[in-house]
Amino acid sequence: MENDEVKIKEDYLKNLDPKEFQEFKLSGLKAEKSENNYDFWFKCLYEFFSSGNYSGTRMLEIGSGPTVHNIATASAYFPYIVQSEFVESNCEQLRKWLRKDSDSLDWTIFLQRVARAEGREDVDAAVPEIEARIRSAVKAVVHADVLNDQVIPKEHTQEPYDLILSVLTFETAAVNLESYSNILGRANRLLRKGGKMILISATKCTYWQVGANKFHCLSLEENEIEDALKKNGFGEICWKVRERPDDDLPFNCKNVYFLTCTKL
Ligand SMILES: C[S@@+](CC[C@H](N)C(=O)[O-])C[C@H]1O[C@@H](n2cnc3c(N)ncnc32)[C@H](O)[C@@H]1O
């Protein structure tokens, strides 16, 4: 198992380019029909955060890639957010965006969709507000490795987190069900008791593609995810699933999901 994990990690380090990655995300937006996966996920995120069915101030995103849209709604509710990511060039892109470097990646198209999901009609005015909100909430961008027991640097684990968000990441790092289960155990240890975890991902996904590179993804069924969560101390598991027959995206899957659970 260790050798396979090392191979997957090497592939990300060698072949995952942040700029190509953003183009891949954009092609995902264009390929989809009227309401797409992102609208579904952003709406679910807004419903979760506006429901107030959680407490706390400290949030950790695991596997951010070079993206800021997944924490956009959270930034209105959580004043202390740590973003984390395995590939250093992605971390660097995030830091550039936070500093407003002139050559940083532009996430406007995604943030417009976040604004719409939040019910804003003045989308163009909303985007700079959301950007400012994210920049104020993100306190650090750090290296993450979900295949390592430490996951993120020690100085960021002194206090447990109230909420963990991870989008399309755990399956892309895990080599098999045991490895996936171990990742959930590591996430659990970073959370406080009663803390929430949000997982956004796809079932039965076997690869995801950036340019010519096809990256690994562990194909999982809903019941396998649910069993692994329970085995690792999570309960109150709540699923929202989007059946999506489209097959013209740069990844394959049965459906996409938004899941919330609680550390018991
Ligand atoms: C499909 S991308 C998703 C990125 C982002 N969350 C998004 O929604 O676009 C998968 C991410 O998982 C990260 N990743 C892969 N292996 C990892 C590991 N061992 N630990 C932490 N992150 C990892 C990759 O670098 C990549 O950014």
Per-residue model confidence as pLDDT tens for the chain (264 residues) = 788 999 999 999 999 999 999 888 877 666 555 678 889 999 999 999 999 999 999 999 999 999 999 999 999 999 999 999 999 999 999 999 999 999 999 999 999 999 999 999 999 999 999 999 999 999 999 999 999 999 999 999 999 999 999 999 999 999 999 999 999 999 999 999 999 999 999 999 999 988 888 999 999 999 999 999 999 999 999 999 998 645 567 788 899 999 999 999
Q: Which of 235, 170, 238, 231 is nearest to 201 (CA)?
A: 170
Q: Which of 234, 203, 198 is nearest to 218 (CA)?
A: 203
**Index of the ligand 1 atom closest to the CA of residue 167:** 6
Distance 64 CA to ligand 1 centre (A): 6
**Index of the ligand 1 atom closest to the CA of residue 251:** 1
**Index of the ligand 1 atom closest to the CA of residue 90:** 27
Q: What's the gap between Cα 210 and its chain centre?
A: 17
Strand partners, 100: none
Distance 257 CA to ligand 1 centre (A): 17
Burial 211-224 (b: 16+ CB within 10 A, else e): eebeebbbebebee
